Structure 1
Amino acid sequence: MQNVYLVEALRTPIGSFGGALKDVGAVQLATTVVKEVWQRSSLSAECIDEVVLGNVLKSGLKGNPARQAAIHSGIPVSVPAITIDKQCASGLRAITLAYHQILAGDSNVVIAGGTESMSNVPHLVMNARWGQKLGDLRTVDALFHDGLHCAIEGYHMGITAENLVERYLISREEQDIFALESQQKAIKAKEQGKFEEEIIPVAIKSKHGATLFTEDENIKNTNLEKLLTLKPAFKENGTVTAGNASSLNDGAAAVIVASEQAVKEYNLKPLAKIRSVASSAVSPSIMGIGPVPATQKALTRANLTIQDIELAELNEAFAAQVLAVNKELGLPEEIINVNGGAIALGHPIGCSGARILVTLVHELRRQKKQIGLASLCVGGGQGVSIIIEAV
C-alpha cells in the first residue's frame, strides 16, 4: 500500500457569529482557502484530480458548494468536485475520502477540506409550497433545524452532552475549568503567533473598499467566576452552558492530499503522512462519545497504541464531551488541544474537521513531534478519527 501525504494545510481565521465574516458566504470562504493551498503547492491545474469539501448548512448556497469554490478558484472546469455532509466531521471526512480515492488508485492529488458560514444560514418558511389553508405559516431556523438538533432523537445536541455528564459523572466545575483552559491556551497561542503560519487572510469587501480579516475573533478573556455564573443552556438543572460549549462560527480550511507518486513526480514538499483513518457509530443519544471507537479503530489500523500519540486535537463540541472521551481514551491532558479548541476558537461545523487537522499538522512540526491524532464526534451518533505522522 502506497503512502499518502498532506502537502499543504491552511485555514481562514474563524469569525464569530454575526461578526467580521457575516457578509462572506461559505462558498467565498472555501474559494479563498482552496485557491491558496493550490497556489502554494505550485501544482499545475491538470495535476488536480478532484476537489472534495465538507459543508453542512447548505440552504441558500445553491448546488454543490465544492464545485462552485473550485471554479471560482480558477481550477479548470474539467476537474470534478463533490460536497459531502457528515455533520461536524464533514471537513475531516472529505479528507479521508480523498485518502481513500488515492489508495484506490482513482486519484493522485485531491484538494479537500470544509467550509461553513453559520452567520448566513437562512430561516425557512415551512409548508409554503402547496399553501397553508388555515393558520399561520411557520418559519424555522435552518441553523437549528438542519445543524444543531439531532434528527434522530429530536432534541438539541446539547442534551447529548448532558447525557454524557450523567453517564460519566462529570461536574459543572470540571467543564468550566476545561473551557477556561481552552480560552487561556488559545489566547497564549494567538499572542505567540502560533496560528500565523496556518491562517490566510480573508478579503472583506464593503462600499468603503476591502479590508483583510487576519485573526480569530471568537477567543474570550474570561475567568472561572464568570463561567460558573452562566445558566444551563439545554436542560433545567443541567451543567452544559454557553461558556463550556462550542459557539456558532464562520470559516474554511483545506489541505492537499497527494500520493507518494505525485509527491515524487511533482517535487512536492509533504508536511505529514496519513497513517490511518477510521469512522465509527454509537447511539445518537450519546453522539459525543463517537471519537472513542473511531480512535481505537484508527490505532489498530496504524499498528499503534494510545501511548504512541504525541499530540491530539479532539474537537470541543462540548467540554463534557471531550472530558467523557478522554475518560475512555486516557490521553495525557497536556497533549490535548494545546492551542485551545472549538470552545475558544469556534466551531464552524462543516469546517472544523479540516481545521483541527490543519492545526495539528503545524503543531506537530513546530514541536518536532511525530504522531498526532485528530478526532470529532458527529451528530446522529458517529465519530471520525485520523492519525498522521509529521515528515
Structure 2
Amino acid sequence: MESVVILSAVRTPIGKLGGVLSGLNAVQLGSVVADEAIKRAAISPTQIEQVIFGNVLQAGSGQNVARQIERAVNIPDTSTAMTINQVCGSGLKAVRLGQAAIMMGDADVVLVGGTESMSNAPFIAPHVRFGHKFGQVPFYDSAEHDGLEDAFSKKPMGITAENVADQFHVSRETQDAFSLQSHQKAVAARDSGNFKAEIVPVKVGDSFVHDDEAIRDNTSMEALANLKPVFKENGTVTAGNAAGLNDGASALILMKESRATELGLPYLAKITGYAEVGINPDIMGYAPYYAITKLAQKMNHPVADFNRVEINEAFASQSAAVIRDLKLDAAKVNVNGGAIALGHPLGDSGARILTTLIHNLINDNLQTGVASLCIGGGMGIAMAISR
C-alpha cells in the first residue's frame, strides 16, 4: 500500500476555559489552522479531496464541523468532509482515517485535524421538547456529560485517574512532581521559542494570541501539595495534577508519498505505524501502555528505540504509570511539557500531540517518534512517525 506523508502540521495556542480563545467556536478555531496548514504545505485548496476533523463537544456547533471548516478555507464543494468523535483520541483517529483513505486509493490529499471549544459547549435542558408542566427545569453541562463523565459508571474521568493511582501505586507526591515538571518543561519550551514553528497566532479582537494560556510559570511542589483532592475524599487527584478544560485546534496535510515526490513537495514526516486497544473503562488512563506496546510489536520496533514519545497528560497518575511501566527514558517523553501544562482540548489533543511530536523531532534533528492517548470509555491509541 502507498506510504502517507505529512506535509504540514500546525496548531493554535491553547486557551483556558472562558479564556482568551473563548470568543471563537470550534469551526473558527479549526479554520485558522486549516488555512495555515494548506499554506505551509504549498498546495492549493483545490487539491484537497477529503477533510476529516475530530470534535467531541458537537452540540450547538451546527451540521458537520469538518464540512464547515472545509468551506471556510475555500476547499471545493466537490470534496467531502467528516467529523469524528472518539473522545480524547478524536484528533489522532482523524489522522488515521485520512491515512487510510490515501492508502486505500480514495484520495491523494487529505486535510486532517482536531478542534474543540470547551468554552462554547452549551448547557442542555433534556425532556422539555414536548413541554414541561410544572417545577424546575433540569439542565446539564454538555462538556461534562458528553466529554468528562464516564458513560458507564456515570462518574467523572477523575475517578478513573484515582483508580489508576490506586491500582498502579502512583503516589500524590509522584503526581505533583510530574505536574511540576510538565509546567517547567513548557515554560522552558515557550521561552526558548520551541513552540513558534508549530503555533499559528490567533487574531482575537485587535490583537493576536501567540502563547498557550494555561502554563503556570511559578508553580511549586508546595503550591501543588496545598491543593485539595477534587474527586474523592482522601484522594490524590487535584486540579494541579490533572489537565484543564481548554480551547484549541490543530491541522495537518496528508499526501500520498509518490504524489509528493512527483510534485517536488518536501514533507515533515511519514506515518509508519498505528495501533489502538480497548481496556476496562475504570482504568482508561492506563491504555497508552497497551497501545504503545501493541504498536511496537506490530512494527517490530522496541519501545525504547523511539527517539521521542508524546503521551497525552490527561492526569499525572496515568501518565506517570505508563511511562514507568514502559520503562521509558523520561528525558524522551513530552520534552516540551504536556497537557497538564499546555491544556487538553478534547477533540484537538490527538492532532496536537502529533503536531508537537513532529516539530520536536525537527527541532532536535531526530528520526522516530510515537504519539499516544488514553480515551474515555476505555480505549487507547498510538501512532508512529519517522522523518
TM-score (norm 2): 0.98
Q: Does 1:283 align with 2:280?
A: yes
One-letter identity of the residue aligned with 2:350: G
- How far does residue 247 in structure 1 lie from its aligned partner after superposition? 0.2
- How far does residue 232 in structure 1 lie from its aligned partner after superposition? 0.2
- How far does residue 203 in structure 1 lie from its aligned partner after superposition? 1.3
Q: Find the counterpart in structure 2 of residue 324 from structure 1.
A: 321
Correspondences of 1:128-139 after superposition (within 5 Å) = 128-139=128-139
Query: 1:213-233 CA deviation, whole Å, 9 max, x = no partner?
Result: 111111002011000000001
Q: Does 1:386 align with 2:383?
A: yes
One-letter identity of the residue aligned with 1:265: E
- How far does residue 49 in structure 1 lie from its aligned partner after superposition? 1.4
- How far does residue 40 in structure 1 lie from its aligned partner after superposition? 1.8
Q: Find the counterpart in structure 2 of residue 44 from structure 1.
A: 44
Q: Does 1:250 align with 2:247?
A: yes
- Give the SS at the match of 1:114: strand
Q: Does 1:213 align with 2:209?
A: yes
Q: Find the counterpart in structure 1 of residue 225 from structure 2.
A: 228
- Give the SS at the match of 1:307: helix
- The answer to whether the 8 Å contact 1:123/1:140 transfers is yes
- The answer to whether the 8 Å contact 1:253/1:355 transfers is yes
- Give the SS at the match of 1:368: coil
- The answer to whether the 8 Å contact 2:45/2:73 transfers is no
One-letter identity of the residue aligned with 2:215: I
Query: Matched residues in 2 for 1:158 and 1:24: separation?
Result: 27
One-letter identity of the residue aligned with 1:256: I
Query: Matched residues in 1 for 2:100 and 2:153: separation?
Result: 31
- How far does residue 2 in structure 1 lie from its aligned partner after superposition? 2.5
Query: 1:113-166 CA deviation, whole Å, 9 max, x = no partner?
Result: 100001111111121102223432101111101110011121000000000011
One-letter identity of the residue aligned with 1:375: S
One-letter identity of the residue aligned with 1:141: D
- The answer to whether the 8 Å contact 2:312/2:374 transfers is yes
Query: Matched residues in 2 for 1:36 and 1:295: separation?
Result: 30
- How far does residue 261 in structure 1 lie from its aligned partner after superposition? 1.8
- The answer to whether the 8 Å contact 1:43/1:266 transfers is no
- The answer to whether the 8 Å contact 1:291/1:384 transfers is yes
Q: Does 1:161 align with 2:157?
A: no
Query: Matched residues in 2 for 1:69 and 1:266: separation?
Result: 26
- How far does residue 327 in structure 1 lie from its aligned partner after superposition? 2.9
One-letter identity of the residue aligned with 1:53: F
Q: Find the counterpart in structure 1 of residue 28 from structure 2.
A: 28
Q: What is the aligned counterpart of 1:333 among 330, 334, 348?
A: 330
- The answer to whether the 8 Å contact 1:108/1:261 transfers is no
Query: Matched residues in 1 for 2:224 and 2:257: separation?
Result: 48
* Structure 1, unaligned runs of 5 or more: none
Query: 1:284-313 CA deviation, whole Å, 9 max, x = no partner?
Result: 101111112211221122221112111100
CA distance 1:265–1:47, shift in 2 (3 Å): farther
Query: Matched residues in 2 for 1:231 and 1:237: separation?
Result: 9
Q: Does 1:374 align with 2:350?
A: no
- Give the SS at the match of 1:349: coil
- How far does residue 82 in structure 1 lie from its aligned partner after superposition? 0.4
Q: What is the aligned counterpart of 2:356 among 354, 359, 368?
A: 359
Correspondences of 1:234-313 after superposition (within 5 Å) = 234-313=231-310
* Structure 2, unaligned runs of 5 or more: none
One-letter identity of the residue aligned with 2:140: V
One-letter identity of the residue aligned with 2:263: Y
- The answer to whether the 8 Å contact 2:183/2:341 transfers is yes
Query: Matched residues in 2 for 1:56 and 1:72: separation?
Result: 20
Query: Matched residues in 2 for 1:32 and 1:382: separation?
Result: 30
Q: Does 1:6 align with 2:6?
A: yes
Moved more, 332-341 or 43-52: 43-52
Query: Matched residues in 1 for 2:101 and 2:295: separation?
Result: 18
Q: Find the counterpart in structure 2 of residue 204 from structure 1.
A: 204
- The answer to whether the 8 Å contact 2:290/2:380 transfers is yes
- Give the SS at the match of 1:51: strand
Query: 1:223-265 CA deviation, whole Å, 9 max, x = no partner?
Result: 1100000000101110000000000111000111111122112
One-letter identity of the residue aligned with 1:7: L
Query: Matched residues in 1 for 2:176 and 2:344: separation?
Result: 18
One-letter identity of the residue aligned with 1:358: T
What number of residue pairs does the alignment pair up?
386
- Give the SS at the match of 2:125: strand
Query: Matched residues in 2 for 1:135 and 1:169: separation?
Result: 47
Q: Does 1:83 align with 2:80?
A: no
Query: Matched residues in 1 for 2:29 and 2:259: separation?
Result: 27
TM-score (norm 1): 0.97
Query: Matched residues in 2 for 1:137 and 1:45: separation?
Result: 46
- The answer to whether the 8 Å contact 2:274/2:383 transfers is yes
- The answer to whether the 8 Å contact 2:10/2:200 transfers is yes
Runs of 4+ in 1 over 6 A off after TM superposition: none
- The answer to whether the 8 Å contact 2:372/2:383 transfers is yes
One-letter identity of the residue aligned with 1:217: E
Moved more, 368-377 or 41-50: 41-50
- How far does residue 193 in structure 1 lie from its aligned partner after superposition? 0.5
Q: What is the root-mean-square deviation of aligned Cα atoms in Å?
A: 1.0
